[in-house]
Amino acid sequence: MEMSDDIYKDIAQAYAAAAEKAPGLKSRFTAAGFDPAAVTSVADLSRLPVMKKEELLKIQRENPPFGGFLASDLKDVGRIYVSPGPIFEPALSDGGGHGLDRLFKAAGVGPGDIILNTWMYHLVPAGLLFDEAAQAAGATVIPGGVGNTELQAQIIAETGVTSICASTAFFLTLADKVIETYGRDAWKVKTAFLGGEMGDWMAKRRRIEAEYGVSTWAAYATADLGLVAYEDGGEGYLVHPDRVVQICDPVSGEQVAHGEPGEVVVTARDATWPMIRFGTGDSAFALESNADGTVSRISALQGRVGAAVKVREIFVYPRVVEEVVIGTPGAKAAQAVVTRENDRDMIRLSLVLEDGADASAAEAAAADTFKLHARIRADEVNIVSELPENAELIVNQKDR
């Protein structure tokens, strides 16, 4: 797939202008010897080191509230969101829920639909972004917010809600409450926009679709950037056309090869809140790339970058161990432990099986699934009777 060259032209103009208004941004550019006006390609863009969320937090603490990164006047800021940290994110009114309206349109939700939005409306952006986006797509929104299960179930039954925005767990709670209290006929919901979860999430979604007669949809959005990518019926997430997404080595910041996991690094076309080479801390891999190596379609998230462990030059993410549980018949839980022995990284898998599961078949399946997703072999697969509750998926003991 080709990417429009104009995006680099727009980035060059937007960030050169932004640097004149935002002293924090200007000093970031100066420290890196980076001239935004000279950007004509992703190679030029990549000369700027990746900025981590932790770094933005530190800069904001030193110079509150925005760390000198706001490239517009305060009068143009519609809202200030507060993410855990706290990090302050100014939101300029754009009417489309910062791109999330694309998700509703892809799902065929619009005029005539009634959406119950159970995302939180306070401080964080989720509630208001979904609300704005659904309205921009032409739907009617009930701002439910979090909790109040009985009342929200009543609302679903009595107003004929056709679509729900919720965490997977809360969606299940609401659906069961409606059916149990008002009967199956009161359940008119056709689409569900669910929050991403680690674990066997896609399988859980397939079960929800079969059991409750809904289609499920999700997006990858962050407080700093708004929508980064969204489901459109194809595999993974389609990248928003106003975002340059790179998958980068979490340490060096260099773009990794197509299909290799790494940190999701995003540059927004617009620079009112200048997100350029911003490291999200999330890991994923490219399913489809543009000619210049930037990403047009990304995989589901593999976990947080800090949770990955480097084994024989390859980052292994917690998601790989979850895939092992999904792909191994009879597996209940798994854990990978990484050690260093005789100057070689070793990775061992421990599996907990259901009673009566075939141990040798499970060992073979676990080894194959691990190799498929991690792209290296596990040194050993061991069957264990149990793992501690909430055991970490991957444990780094290399330095012991």
**Is pLDDT above 60 for 73?**
yes
User: 156, 187, 220 — which closes off a domain?
Assistant: 220
Average model confidence (pLDDT) across the chain = 92
> Which residues make beta-bridge pairs with 396?
338
What pLDDT was estimated at residue 85? 81
What b/e string do you get for 252-270 counting C-beta neighbours within 10 Å, with b at 16 or more?
ebebbeeeebbbbbbbbbb
Helix (H, G, I), strand (E, B) or coil at 333: strand
Output the six-digit token pair for 400.
Answer: 């012991």
Residue 3 binned pLDDT confidence (cut-offs 50, 70, 90):
low
Residues 77 and 49 in one domain: yes
Asked if residue 86 belongs to a domain, the reply is yes
Whole-angstrom Cα distance, residue 288 to residue 239?
10
Asked if residue 175 belongs to a domain, the reply is yes
What pLDDT was estimated at residue 196? 67
Q: Give Cβ neighbours of residue 6 (< 8 Å, ≥ 6 apart).
A: none
Q: Give Cβ neighbours of residue 72 (< 8 Å, ≥ 6 apart).
A: 21, 90, 92, 272, 273
Cα→Cα distances 181→163, 164, 175, Å: 19, 18, 10
Mean pLDDT across the stretch 21-35?
97
Tally: H helices and E strands in the chain: 11, 23
What pLDDT was estimated at residue 276? 97
Helix (H, G, I), strand (E, B) or coil at 15: helix
| Number of folded domains that form the chain | 3
Asked if residue 289 belongs to a domain, the reply is yes
Whole-angstrom Cα distance, residue 298 to residue 231?
10
What pLDDT was estimated at residue 86? 87
Output the six-digit token pair for 180.
Answer: 């149990």
> Which residues make beta-bridge pairs with 230?
219, 238
Residues 213 and 233 in one domain: no
DSSP state of 312: T
Residue 95 binned pLDDT confidence (cut-offs 50, 70, 90):
low
User: 304, 323, 343 — which closes off a domain?
Assistant: 304
The domain of 378 spans: 309-396
Residues 144 and 206 in one domain: yes
Residues 318 and 358 in one domain: yes
Residues 76 and 126 in one domain: no
**Is pLDDT above 60 for 227?**
yes
Residues 278 and 321 in one domain: no
Residues 290 and 316 in one domain: no
Tens of pLDDT along 315-340?
888 888 988 998 999 999 999 999 99
Asked if residue 20 belongs to a domain, the reply is yes
What pLDDT was estimated at residue 305? 84
Residues 181 and 123 in one domain: yes
What pLDDT was estimated at residue 312? 86
**Is pLDDT above 60 for 357?**
yes
Least confident residue range of 32-41, 75-84, 310-319: 310-319
Asked if residue 232 belongs to a domain, the reply is yes
Asked if residue 2 belongs to a domain, the reply is no
Single-letter amino acid, residue 261 = P
Residues 174 and 239 in one domain: no
Residues 276 and 314 in one domain: no
Asked if residue 1 belongs to a domain, the reply is no
CATH number at residue 378: 3.30.300.30
Residue 4 binned pLDDT confidence (cut-offs 50, 70, 90):
low
Helix (H, G, I), strand (E, B) or coil at 291: coil
CATH number at residue 192: 3.40.50.12780
Tell me the DSSP string of 122-144: SSSSHHHHHHHHHHHTT-EEEE-
Whole-angstrom Cα distance, residue 335 to residue 150?
39
Asked if residue 371 belongs to a domain, the reply is yes
Whole-angstrom Cα distance, residue 143 to residue 229?
24
Residues 86 and 56 in one domain: yes
What pLDDT was estimated at residue 297? 98
Output the six-digit token pair for 56.
Answer: 């933005």
Global pTM exceeds 0.75: yes
Q: Provide the greatest CA pair distance for the chain.
A: 68
User: 304, 323, 352 — which closes off a domain?
Assistant: 304
CB 228, CB 243: distance < 8 Å:
yes
Tens of pLDDT along 118-166?
999 999 899 999 999 999 999 999 999 989 999 999 999 999 999 999 9
User: Crossing angle of helices 201-212/168-182, nearest 10°?
Assistant: 20
**Is pLDDT above 90 for 47?**
yes
Residue 272 binned pLDDT confidence (cut-offs 50, 70, 90):
confident
Residues 198 and 299 in one domain: no
